[in-house]
Amino acid sequence: MNDRINKLRDVTINLGHGGGGRAMRDLIEDVFVATFDNPALAALEDQAVFPLAELARHGDRLAFTTDSYVVDPLFFPGGDIGALAVSGTVNDLAMSGAKPLFLSCGMVIEEGLAVDTLRRVAASMQRVAIEAGVSIVTGDTKVVERGSADKLFINTAGIGIVPAGVNISARRAQVGDAVIVNGFLGDHGVAILIARQQLALQADVASDCGPLGSLVATMLGACDDIHCMRDATRGGMATVLNEFAISSDVAIHIQETAIPVREEVRGACELLGLDPLYLANEGKLIALVPARCAQRLLAAMRRHPAGTHAAIIGEVVAQPAGIVILQTEFGGQRIVDMLVGEQLPRIC
């Protein structure tokens, strides 16, 4: 890869870097190919090709997902748009129980972006990809005129393989299932608010941005019959639980006192009139699992770095179907609706 490094002499991105010629090739080779560093990408074909037999070693079904990232600012406590792009797509694959394997990366870059900023984002993507055990194997670069975008947008698509016998779906919730979350809620949303410096908030909160594939593998090792699982990104935990309740035609009861929320996040929410149940997370999952294996699963999660503060926060009941009910710390109850509208824009 050494012959690909230091080809790019420009300090900022210009329209020529998206024009399809030498400037674009130098950008791709120097910033992306040299950083992501794998044979499939180094070939610089328009696609990455893999033997089906190799994929089939991991399971019997293909999982495929895509997402786009427009977070503002690009860098925030605990992460950046690059870490977010890899983690988010890896996590979407992992929520099906799939082993994430390969990602694509599409960049929409605004003219004038500093090349060093792009290098920093690419390095972050590679760091998280290595942590998650995936390779970034193909991609695309577009440059748009100054003012036509906001610095940098990223699209990542990913494929993974679902092991035989794993069947995780929002339609599989069953009465008696335990509701488990892997840690503190709302960290990402509050970290972004602080990073925007639009409010007089002073709190030591970092985003929870990170890949969850390894945690999910640990969970499946402790309980091979996880019924439902999703990561609580936009719309937060409240929206995920409502999706489960509606899809499975059940009710979900959760205990406010059991839900892990940092005091700093709780305080920021009280100050701004926000609810941590609806705040975005980028490293939190919600799982519904049979009661018989809930404690064993919880113990396994707590031994994993991404599940240290995992907690059982509720259970699935029969009625009223399609509804999520919160038992408050004061002994009352309230319905937790799905998020309507956008609580915080440009959060991921």
In a domain, 170, yes or no: no
SS3 of the chain: the string is: CHHHCCCCCCCECCHHHHCCCHHHHHHHHHHHHHHHCCHHHHCCCCCCCCCHHHHHCCCCEEEEEEEEECCCCCEECCEEHHHHHHHHHHHHHHCCCCEEEEEEEEEEEECCCEHHHHHHHHHHHHHHHHHHCCEEEEEEEEEECCCCCCCEEEEEEEEEEECCCCCCCCCCCCCCCEEEECCCCCHHHHHHHHHHCCCCCCCCCCCCCCCCHHHHHHHHHHCCCCCEEEECCCCHHHHHHHHHHHHHCCEEEEEHHHCCCCHHHHHHHHHHCCCCCCCCCCCCEEEEECHHHHHHHHHHHHCCHHHCCCEEEEEEECCCCCCEEEECCCCCEEECCCCCCCCCCCCC
Q: Looking at the structure, do residues 236 and 307 belong to the same domain, yes or no?
A: yes
Asked if 259 and 179 count as a contact pair (C-beta separation under 8 A), the reply is no
Shared domain for 128 and 216, answered yes or no, is no
DSSP β-bridge partners for residue 102: 135, 159
What's the pLDDT score for residue 344? 78
Residue 346 lies in a domain: no
Residues 6+ apart with CB under 8 A from 238: 275, 277, 278, 324, 336, 337, 338, 339
Same domain, 67 and 138: yes
Out of 97, 128, 162, pick the residue that ends a domain. Answer: 162
Answer yes or no: is 172 within a domain: no
Separation of alpha carbons 324 and 275, rounded Å: 15
Same domain membership, residue 323 and residue 190: yes
Mark whether 151 and 188 lie in a shared domain: no
- The residue from 112, 127, 162 where one domain ends is 162
The predicted structure's pLDDT at residue 6: 67
Q: Domain check: are 29 and 158 in the same one? A: yes
Total-model pTM: 0.95
The reply to whether 144 and 188 lie within a common domain is no
Note whether 120 and 9 are same-domain residues. yes
Domain end (from 162, 187, 216) = 162
On whether both 38 and 118 belong to a single domain, the answer is yes
Domain of residue 136: give its range: 2-162
Q: What CATH number has the domain bearing residue 201?
A: 3.90.650.10
Q: Do 133 and 259 lie in a common domain? A: no
Query: Is 281 domain-assigned?
Result: yes
Please report, in tens digits, the pLDDT of each residue of the chain (348 residues total). Answer: 556 666 788 999 999 999 989 999 999 999 999 999 999 999 999 999 999 998 999 999 999 999 999 999 999 999 999 999 999 999 999 999 999 999 999 999 999 999 999 999 999 999 999 999 999 999 999 999 999 999 999 999 999 999 999 999 999 999 999 999 999 999 999 999 889 876 667 778 999 999 999 999 999 999 999 999 999 999 999 999 999 999 999 999 999 999 999 999 999 998 888 999 999 999 999 999 999 999 999 999 999 999 999 999 999 999 999 999 999 999 899 999 988 776 778 899
Residue 335: how many other CB atoms lie within 10 Å: 10
Give the Å distances, CA to CA, from 325 to 56, 123, 317.
42, 43, 10
| Tally of domains within the chain | 2
148: tokens are: 């036509």
Give the CATH number, domain containing residue 23: 3.30.1330.10
